[in-house]
Chain A
């Protein structure tokens, strides 16, 4: 299905094929968002697929607004809810923070993805990502959620506000504060690469 066809699919239910097309389009962003919450690749993929399965049964119950916008909102809201459920369940059984930090330390994404023979540079990159992950975990959840939905989900402030049950103005403030908090954390660690 082409994008114009989807855009014109206002206030009507999507077919399974149309939803599958949207899923293929948004699955990478959804997985990235889930990973940013769970820090676990396979869990993130599972959650993204689970969210889609949920949508298959709930999408038809709503017929308001643009079809693709509706899908995006419900898709990312489902991913967020499923991630929170997964984190809560894991915390009941074991200390997920330990597991997450262990994977984060053992599995540095940026350092590993960059081909560098410069050990010092690789070490710095690893420090930066450790710092970013820690800062995201330390800030209020709404701040980090809003920023992650913006960057990983590429959602608008209005869509994020809908998912987080908030307002456009509040989301704007949360995202700004999240960026400032990250900037401060990088400054404190002497890792801010933008000269002041």
Chain B
């Protein structure tokens, strides 16, 4: 086989080489391409170039995990710090610790959003935002959530005090007393859980 027009021949075979890489040739085409590949350095280079390009396209198409936002609050490396192992580690850490914790946190959110007085220092947004994206938790977010949970613990304690100071009628309704007791028990359980979490964090 002549190699004088090797690059030109490879240019003509480019479409077949591309399809060969994708395993999309019929047997006759495959035979032709393989014959050229055995003898033509240019064709082998073309195939290698296609392989390199595919790797690059694959690489630039890999989603990244947000580590900190906004951009001006981040250190070197921009608003996203890509550290897959760390992100994975954090997720594992959070969810292994947090199967029940996450559930408790969600209950806390619901409870606090409905129970805290309007002039509370903790707003609904402050509570809901960090916990809507539990899976993408970073160091900063984790510390922020620990502080948040600590605040929530204090809020719940305040709520418990308020509950205790309720102006209970002299002849209390049996249902009311029972409800009061039930809420108090639930609050105690939640405070314990949050306290355990914040204790572990500190």
Contacts and interface: CB of A to CB of B under 8 A. Distances in A.
Contacts of B59: 109-110, 113, 129
B84 interface: yes
B45 interface: yes
A179 B84 contact: no
A14 interface: no
A172 interface: yes
A96 B82 CA distance: 23
A142 to B, nearest CB: 15
Given A128-B56, A129-B56, A180-B14, A106 B62 contact: no
A182 B62 contact: no
Contacts of B53: 132, 179, 182-183, 186
B64 A32 contact: no
A141 B59 CA distance: 19
B50 A179 contact: yes
Interface in B1-43: 14-15, 18-19, 22, 24
Contacts of B81: 112
Contacts of B58: 32, 151-152
Nearest to B133: A42
A31 B50 CA distance: 23
Nearest to B58: A151
B60 interface: yes
Interface in A177-196: 179-180, 182-183, 186, 192-196
Contacts of B22: 150, 157, 175
Interface residues of A, number: 44
What is the predominant secondary structure among interface residues of chain B facing chain A? Answer: helix
Contacts of A150: 22
Contact of B80 (A33, A107, A172, A182): A107
A163 interface: no
Contact of B78 (A35, A106, A110, A113): A106
A133 B60 contact: yes
Interface residues of B, number: 32
Given A176-B15, A176-B18, A179-B18, A113 B57 contact: no
A154 to B, nearest CB: 10
A188 to B, nearest CB: 14
Nearest to A38: B63
B139 interface: no
A44 interface: yes
Contacts of B65: 41
Interface of B: 14-15, 18-19, 22, 24, 45, 48-50, 52-54, 56-66, 71, 77-82, 84
17 contacts: A32-B62, A35-B63, A36-B61, A42-B66, A44-B63, A108-B78, A109-B60, A109-B62, A112-B77, A132-B60, A157-B22, A175-B22, A176-B14, A176-B19, A179-B54, A183-B49, A195-B45
